[in-house]
Amino acid sequence: MSVTLDSIEPNQFDAFLSTLSSEDVIAFDDLYVRYEAKTDTYEFETNEITASRLSESELHEQARQASDYLTNWWFWSEVVGDEVPHLFAFLRFLEDGDEHPVVDRYAALADGMTKAWGQLQITTTLAQDGARQYEIRHVDDHDSSASTLDAYSDPLSARDIGTFDGKGRYRPLRTAPSLPTGWVFTELSARDAYETVDTFYPATIANWYREHQGTLDIDHWRDTAERQTGIYGIIDELAYDAVEHVAATCCTDSQCLKRREWQYDEETPLHAEGGDGIFPCREPCSLVVAAARKWTTLEREETETYTFELTPSEKEQIEDIIHAVADDETDDIREADVYEGANRYRARFLREKRMDEHGHLIEADAGHGHSDHSGHSDHEQDTHEE
């Protein structure tokens, strides 16, 4: 496919001239143009062409022949602009703008350049005038024909799409890897592409940009815990090991697509996996803080020794049930698949056999030990979110 757009729009050339008259020089990507007032001529240089002492009409012809360079300048300077640095940097990233020469990039854009951002697949293509157009869909829909997906154009639609997962469950964490499939945003402008991504994954672009600039502000666990007040004021009690468990529980790629950059404190790293995501996590989020509050109260309890009798298979079954819940696999276990420990019938059988009428495990030697045979704590239920 031909990569050269063989024309430039009058407004593009007007903007070009206007910039040259106010700034004398345009130097952008592989294009260098200079206006010399003394001779009223232009110098024009690209990777392929070097020309000087051009009149305005010669400049126009030169620009037309090198239209890729000119429309590239026009798009980045006039359409995108650099007023919002993270927006500019993100759109550049989408087409590897800082890595490939204009001509190669235009060749790639003709076919579409694709990047992943969390579970989003973002494809950049060229419109006739050299402006970019963007398509955003779920990465799992990469093979689907766009016509089979629900089409959207308003960036704010991303808010509703991202509110529930594919099973209709509320997603309290926008960066959880549970974005539903089946939708596509087409022919987005640069601004709308940015807004769509920022709506699916709020503030991830701004944080990614800060990280690239070396200015990402990281609040480690201790910073965050000590900042809390009200019902969350207790979470600074959590010991280092428990914070490791919190990070391993909540912050791996299977739970959240941000890459955890916060540690226990500035000097004390956490060893739990932080994930490989493209955008960073700069502090424990509100979900982690709220869960940590529960764990703080639970961690206050002392261990006790219980004696339960289980067959080896029953012990294994309890382990299976914990794994199935922890890995969100309960819905995948078929109703009649009694070979799975976390199968509903298997769990019901175990409950019939090993639990009393109050739903508590029956201890082997009920005569000894605990006055509270439930083994349950008497902590008040926490249902409020403050």
Partner 1 sequence: MQSLVIVAHGSHLNPDSSAPTHDHADTIRSIGAFDEVRTGFWKEEPSLREVLRTVEGDEIYVVPLFISEGYFTEQVIPRELRLDGWDVSQWDSDGLSADHTVITAEDIDRTVHYCGPVGTHEAMTDVLVRRAESVTGDSDVGDGFGFAVVGHGTERNENSAKAIEYHADRIRQMDRFEEVQALYMDEEPEVDDVTDFFETEDIVVVPLFIADGFHTQEDIPEDMGLTDDYTKGYDIPAHVDGHRIWYAGAVGTEGLMADVILERAADAGASIGDALEIVREQTRSAEPAMGD
| Residues at the site binding partner 1, with contacts judged by CB under 8 A | 83-84, 156, 159, 163-164, 170, 172-175, 198, 202-203, 206-207, 210, 217, 219, 227, 229-230, 282-283, 285-287, 290, 383, 385-386
**Looking at beta carbons only, is 164 or 183 nearer to partner 1?**
164
* Whole-angstrom distance, CA of residue 364 vs CA of residue 366: 6
**Looking at beta carbons only, is 11 or 163 nearer to partner 1?**
163
**Looking at beta carbons only, is 227 or 354 nearer to partner 1?**
227
Least distance from partner 1 to the Cβ atom of residue 220, Å: 14
**Looking at beta carbons only, is 83 or 150 nearer to partner 1?**
83
Per DSSP, what are the bridge partners of residue 117? Answer: 120
Least distance from partner 1 to the Cβ atom of residue 284, Å: 10
Annotate the chain with three-state secondary structure: CCCCCCCCCHHHHHHHHHHHHHHCEEEECCEEEEEECCCCEEEEECCCCEEEEECHHHHHHHHHHCHHHHHHHHHHHHHHCCCCHHHHHHHHHHCCCCCCCHHHHHHHHHHCEEEEECCEEEEEEECCCCCEEEEEEEHHHCCCCHHHCEEECCCCHHHHHCCECCCCCECCCCCCCCCCCCEEEEEECHHHHHHHHHHHCCCHHHHHHHHHHCCCCCCCHHHHHHHCCHHHHHHHHCCHHHHHHHHHHHCCCCCCCCEECCCCECCECCCCCCCCCCCEECCCCHHHHHHHHHHHHHHCCCCCCCCCCCCHHHHHHHHHHHHHHHCCCHHHCCCCCCCCCCCHHHHHHHHHHHECCCCCECCCCCCCCCCCCCCCCCCCCCCCCC
Least distance from partner 1 to the Cβ atom of residue 13, Å: 29
Give the strands of the sheet with 132-138, arranged side by side.
113-117, 120-126, 132-138, 183-188, 150-152
Least distance from partner 1 to the Cβ atom of residue 229, Å: 6
Least distance from partner 1 to the Cβ atom of residue 226, Å: 12
**Looking at beta carbons only, is 98 or 386 nearer to partner 1?**
386
Least distance from partner 1 to the Cβ atom of residue 158, Å: 12
**Looking at beta carbons only, is 44 or 279 nearer to partner 1?**
279
Least distance from partner 1 to the Cβ atom of residue 203, Å: 4
Least distance from partner 1 to the Cβ atom of residue 59, Å: 34
**Looking at beta carbons only, is 203 or 248 nearer to partner 1?**
203
The single residue listed with the structure tokens 């509703």 is 160
**Looking at beta carbons only, is 229 or 305 nearer to partner 1?**
229
Least distance from partner 1 to the Cβ atom of residue 128, Å: 29
**Looking at beta carbons only, is 91 or 285 nearer to partner 1?**
285
